[in-house]
Amino acid sequence: MPVIVAHILKGRSVEIKRRLASALTATVADALDVQPQSIQVLIEEHERENWAAGGELYSDRQVEPKSDELDLDAFFRKPVETKAPAKPAAKAPAQKTPAKSRQRR
């Protein structure tokens, strides 16, 4: 039974958390080939004053991202598979003509 723990900053709506739980569940179920019902998601929220990035507390940042504009689908979208360009066929090695045998006298 997989258990996923997501640590996020406080302030996101219940709808955003629903989308996060759904996206995480679908992705892990696909990756591990298990039933979605067996996956548990725990969402832990943290105050901005208790989280830092690059040595700076989120509470000290001048511009805070708007949490409702977060595009969760972009995080969990599968990359588009692109076919590698076809390699040119290798040339067959040139065959040597058989050497003429020397006639013995």
Distance CA 27, CA 78 (A): 9
CA distance 37 to 32: 13
2 in active site: yes
Of residues 2, 79, 85, 98, which has the active-site annotation? 2
Q: Are 72 and 16 in contact (CB under 8 A)?
A: yes
Please list the active-site residues: 2
